[in-house]
Structure 1
Amino acid sequence: MTLEGAQTAPGVVEDVFEGHATGVEVEDTGDDQVLIKRPWRPEQIRVSTSAFSLRNILDLIEEESLELAPDFQRGQVWGASQKSLLVESLLLQIPLPAFYFAEHGDGSFSVVDGLQRLSTLYAFVRGEGEEDGFALTKLEHLEELKGLRFNDLPVPFRRRINNTQLTVNVIDPSTPRDVTYEIFKRINTGGTPLNAQEIRHCMSRPRSREILKRMTHTEAFDTATGRRLRNHIRMNDREMALRFAGFWLQGLDAYYEKPAMEPFLWKTTEMLDSPERVPDTRVAELEAAFESAMHNAHLLFGEHAFRKWPHDYEYRSPINRALFETWSIALAGYDSADLFPRRGAIVESARRRMTNDVMYLNAITSSTADRRRVDYRFTAAAKDVEAGR
């Protein structure tokens, strides 16, 4: 849906989250139709159930053996009332829903489901200061504890919290990554289900997260995207950087072998997490290429970079992910001194295509993960960037 009164190009639908425009166009990749044809074997699912005391889980977090996916903003949006009611549930010995952890080969864990609950409990019990070690506010049955922090509670209540037994379903590290991802998609709870990039963020390792964060925390990226994407509420900034990394590192032929966006981006995430597969020197080249692409995109298209911009339409449309991936790759290898004298011809070629080429408009709007549509839009961008020679 679009916000009432929002100005968008014909056929453009801007994504909205919790009543606010996200600055990014809604995308239909068509991946669901591709992936549903390739179900896994049931024996690949290996999940065991264990009981952990809350004290044990908080120790694992402090030892960095259990990761709470830092820099995941949307997982931290509970208000004071929700946090207090969760703590009250423990004090009343009301069992909490089961948690899901994914175990890694080195014995560490990532939170698959329950990130917000664990973050809240960790902040209450182990946090310090006003922001982290919060005081209880809304309580429905234990109003005499209102205003108290964990260390202010009577000893029996503190002991009750620490000794609370939590049921945890642990996904074995031998479970294939795509199967773990599908489990995550099916069981993640909360008011708004996590999208694909939010799931990848929670399941990935620190190395890939830091790389994507650096790529999207530059002045060049901010300028090219109209300062709408940094720390994006749905992590669209990280997904776009990941798409660039995927096509830049693996190339189009790798995508054509298995033309579905989600597994392609998962493979890219795993590559970025591995220093053996993508050494630091290669990461530095990746980041430099991405920054160059951002500079060039703004040089050519200004405030319309990565947005649909047909003729006779001057409003700024939301960012289009398919345009982002194709034009960022197309521009990464060019020197700005080569592009600037041809700017008018390049922009005219791109706008004419967005106005008259129905196949191109389809390729950047619907079933965008389809092999033929990916090929069409990448080929088109490569031709357009050569205009004016």
Structure 2
Amino acid sequence: MAKKIIISDRELEEQYEQSSFKLTQERSDFLLPQIVDFVKTKRWLNLHPEYQRRLVWDRKKKSLFIESLLLNIPVPPIFLFEWDYSRYEVMDGQQRLSSVLDFYDNKYKLTGLEQWSDLTGKSFSELPPLLKKALDRRRISATVILAESAKSDDDRSSLRRFVFERLNTGGQKLNAQELRNCLYSSLFNNLIVELAGNDLFDDIWEIPRYSDNIRGDQINTKLAENSLFKRMTDCEIVLRFFAFRQRSHVKGAVKKILDNCMIRNQSLGPDEITRLSELFISRLEAAKSIFGDRTFRIIDQKGKARLSQPLFDAVMVALDREYDHIETLRKKSKELIASLDRKLLSQKTYELVVGKLGTAPSIKDRADFMQKHFKEFI
């Protein structure tokens, strides 16, 4: 057994003094009109509307928050991260801020109030002058992590992630994809959310269509309660295609592969985003044209066709590699599907395609298997 190394108190103190990982923070109170102005002038950034879609406050929750402010009831502080001097990112408190911003913009009317029921049905512009003034005098506290907490952009990114994850210890913990959505704000992240709302993608994965179920910031209950939608699993499925399509990037833990894909594409411009959108949709349409109702569905050992994320990975990546031969594959779709079903009777092949091992080598092996299968019909 290795001998435990004892570190003295003085050594611990020296480590603490030399550590670069220490926060500089301040606390401030902001009037509601100030908050509205800061968001509109983009001094406060990143309210993450895509993230809020998944854990959105309904009109009643927003109204009760406004009622709390009117009653001067203490509300939890928000957390801001100073990304650059005097430019702040909202790390925690997005829904509270959106409730204020949307109310001041007359985007909803109060409902479900418990103490001020006489205000039900009123927007901000319809409040009596005295109540408007009362709201204008209300404040929300903010804890601000200052820019000098980090010495470089890399330190800043690491610190931002660390703080965000620590803030995310209470309530319903965010999963890996929800964290990516909050941490890697970019055109690429917006694309992931947009593609998850593609009608064909939603139909294949049995997700109620975004186009039929989202109106402004209101989400139909049917969509809000869908298991793939509410925890952003639909977005992670889309991300997996972009993360796995280049073999050289498939190494290490799957979570790290997906994180690296977000980081790698964070600076993409509009033209490249458009190209990636068209690429994904064309491969998705190709899969549907070949497999029809069996798209991304595997016949399990009970004879039932069920949706499979590992099969999605394999089919999409293999089709991307062999896209020049898509017309030939379409013409031979019946034979291709029948042959695949026969191969899946083998326990070893079934386990490979089902994806019991969520490792980088198994991801590569599945894509290689599916590409080899397609080549048999080209």
Query: Structure 2 CA distance, aligned partners of 1:240 and 1:329?
Result: 12
Q: Residue 291 of structure 1 aligns to which amino acid in structure 2?
A: I
2:110 corresponds to which residue?
Answer: 135
Query: Structure 1 CA distance, aligned partners of 2:95 and 2:373?
Result: 46
2:220 corresponds to which residue?
Answer: none
| Conservation of the 8 A alpha-carbon contact between 2:109 and 2:120 | no
Correspondence 1:329-340 to 2 at 5 A: 329-333=317-321, 334=323, 335-340=325-330
Correspondence 1:146-157 to 2 at 5 A: 146-157=120-131
TM-score, with normalisation over the residues of structure 2? 0.74
2:175 corresponds to which residue?
Answer: 195
Answer with 165-174 or 372-381: which moved more: 165-174
TM-score, with normalisation over the residues of structure 1? 0.72
Q: CA RMSD in A?
A: 3.3
> For 2:260, which of 262, 267, 290 is the aligned residue?
267
Answer with 350-359 or 161-170: which moved more: 350-359
Task: Establish whether residue 321 from structure 1 lines up as the match of residue 309 from structure 2.
Answer: yes
Answer with 184-193 or 202-211: which moved more: 184-193
> For 2:28, which of 21, 30, 51 is the aligned residue?
51
Structure 1 pair 314–143 and aligned structure 2 pair: CA distance change class (3 A): closer
Query: Structure 2 CA distance, aligned partners of 1:106 and 1:307?
Result: 51
2:281 corresponds to which residue?
Answer: 291
> For 1:159, which of 117, 133, 136 is the aligned residue?
133
Structure 1 pair 344–146 and aligned structure 2 pair: CA distance change class (3 A): closer
| Conservation of the 8 A alpha-carbon contact between 2:111 and 2:120 | yes
| Conservation of the 8 A alpha-carbon contact between 1:224 and 1:302 | no
> For 1:117, which of 96, 104, 121 is the aligned residue?
96
2:46 corresponds to which residue?
Answer: 67
| Conservation of the 8 A alpha-carbon contact between 2:250 and 2:364 | no
| Conservation of the 8 A alpha-carbon contact between 2:318 and 2:371 | yes
Correspondence 1:17-28 to 2 at 5 A: none
1:15 corresponds to which residue?
Answer: none
Q: CA deviation at 1:51?
A: 1.5
Structure 1 pair 280–86 and aligned structure 2 pair: CA distance change class (3 A): closer
Which secondary structure state, in structure 2, belongs to the residue aligned with residue 273 of structure 1?
coil
Q: Residue 50 of structure 1 aligns to which amino acid in structure 2?
A: R
Structure 1 pair 372–176 and aligned structure 2 pair: CA distance change class (3 A): farther
Q: CA deviation at 1:138?
A: 1.7
Structure 1 pair 338–362 and aligned structure 2 pair: CA distance change class (3 A): closer
Gaps of 5+ in 2: 1-17, 212-228
| Conservation of the 8 A alpha-carbon contact between 1:47 and 1:169 | no
Query: Structure 2 CA distance, aligned partners of 1:42 and 1:136?
Result: 50
Q: May I ask how many residue pairs the two structures share in their alignment?
A: 333
| Conservation of the 8 A alpha-carbon contact between 2:105 and 2:124 | no
Correspondence 1:1-389 to 2 at 5 A: 43-44=20-21, 46=23, 48-53=25-30, 54-65=32-43, 66-71=45-50, 72-80=52-60, 82-105=61-84, 108-124=87-103, 126-128=104-106, 132-140=107-115, 142-143=116-117, 145-171=119-145, 174=150, 175-177=155-157, 179-188=159-168, 192-218=172-198, 220-222=200-202, 224-225=204-205, 228=208, 230=210, 232-248=229-245, 251-256=246-251, 259-275=252-268, 279-310=269-300, 313-315=303-305, 317=306, 319-333=307-321, 334=323, 335-358=325-348, 361=351, 364-366=354-356, 368=358, 370-389=359-378
Query: Structure 2 CA distance, aligned partners of 1:111 and 1:95?
Result: 20
Query: Structure 2 CA distance, aligned partners of 1:45 and 1:361?
Result: 47
Which secondary structure state, in structure 2, belongs to the residue aligned with residue 385 of structure 1?
helix
Higher helix share: 2
| Conservation of the 8 A alpha-carbon contact between 1:224 and 1:294 | no
| Conservation of the 8 A alpha-carbon contact between 1:243 and 1:325 | yes
Which secondary structure state, in structure 2, belongs to the residue aligned with residue 290 of structure 1?
helix
Which secondary structure state, in structure 1, belongs to the residue aligned with residue 125 of structure 2?
helix
Query: Structure 2 CA distance, aligned partners of 1:268 and 1:45?
Result: 29
Query: Structure 1 CA distance, aligned partners of 2:205 and 2:261?
Result: 23
| Conservation of the 8 A alpha-carbon contact between 1:50 and 1:168 | yes
Q: Residue 161 of structure 1 aligns to which amino acid in structure 2?
A: L
Q: Residue 164 of structure 2 aligns to which amino acid in structure 1?
A: F
Gaps of 5+ in 1: 1-40
Answer with 297-306 or 175-184: which moved more: 175-184
Query: Structure 2 CA distance, aligned partners of 1:70 and 1:201?
Result: 10
Q: CA deviation at 1:330?
A: 1.0
Query: Structure 2 CA distance, aligned partners of 1:323 and 1:219?
Result: 20
Query: Structure 2 CA distance, aligned partners of 1:44 and 1:363?
Result: 44
Q: CA deviation at 1:294?
A: 0.7
Structure 1 pair 50–375 and aligned structure 2 pair: CA distance change class (3 A): same
Q: CA deviation at 1:354?
A: 4.2
| Conservation of the 8 A alpha-carbon contact between 2:329 and 2:377 | no
Q: Residue 242 of structure 1 aligns to which amino acid in structure 2?
A: L
- What percentage of residue pairs aligned between the two structures are identical? 24
Structure 1 pair 262–84 and aligned structure 2 pair: CA distance change class (3 A): same
The structure that has the greater radius of gyration is: 2
| Conservation of the 8 A alpha-carbon contact between 2:124 and 2:132 | yes
